[in-house]
Amino acid sequence: MLSIPVHYRDDLESVMIPYGLILDRTEALATQIFNDFGNEPLVCLCVLKGGYRFFSDLTKRIQSPNRTNGNKSLPMMLDFIRLKSYHNTESSGQVEIIGGDDLNNLRGKNVLIVEDMIDTGRTMVKLISRLKEFAPKQVKTCTLLVKRTSLSNGFEPDYTGFSIPEKFIVGYALDLNEHFRDLEVS
């Protein structure tokens, strides 16, 4: 029986993904990432606020093969950014990066962006092109969720947790006007 906090019970249509399932999938993604990047330092870049729960669970699980894989190990640096979007017009919408360390530190590094959700893909495309100005070795993307939407710009992340139908999702750090970030259903 899945339990939903009483104060959210009337607000939710259904539970899409229970926490245990997120963790199972996250562990598989962590193994894949470890195998793909092993031995070369990786900057894991959390897109706040929505990405923080997934980022925490994912980076923790990349650490476990680090302890048990003999000579192979993946040194990680963890960093956090927030994005501010300006949508004056559809095409000139800019993404400004706020917070985080000096992005010049990304020069020559493998970077993994960790995000909560890809919807139209616009945010990700703009973020990647902004980060590339700092000359990283490569930029890869990992998202917990991808929405199946006709509004997609075709962007495909390198690592995806779940592909979901076009619904508005909350919980596990995803919000609706800052509500529901604390929601977790297990």
Locate 34 and state its tokens. Answer: 């470890």
**Binding flag, residue 169, ligand IMP (CB under 6 A):** yes
**Binding flag, residue 50, Mg ion (CB under 5 A):** yes
* Rounded Cα gap, residues 173 and 115, in angstroms: 11
Interface of this chain with Mg ion, residues 59 to 118, rule: CB under 5 A: 116
Q: Which stretch binds ligand IMP (CB under 6 A): 12-20, 30-38, 110-118, 130-138?
A: 110-118
- Residue 128 main-chain phi, psi, to 5 deg: -60, -45
**Binding flag, residue 122, ligand IMP (CB under 6 A):** yes
> Residues near 33 by Cβ (< 8 Å), separated by ≥ 6?
42, 58, 62, 74, 112, 142, 159
User: Which does residue 56 touch among Mg ion, ligand IMP, none (CB within 5 to 8 A, set by kind)?
Assistant: none
Q: Which stretch binds ligand IMP (CB under 6 A): 21-29, 104-112, 117-125, 131-139?
A: 117-125
User: Which does residue 120 touch among Mg ion, ligand IMP, none (CB within 5 to 8 A, set by kind)?
Assistant: ligand IMP
Residue from the set 123, 139, 141, 142 that interacts with ligand IMP by CB under 6 A: 123
| DSSP of 13-54 | S--SS-HHHHHHHHHHHHHHHHHHHTTS-EEEEEEETTTHHH
Catalytic residues: 119
Residues that bind ligand IMP (CB under 6 A): 50, 115-123, 168-170, 174
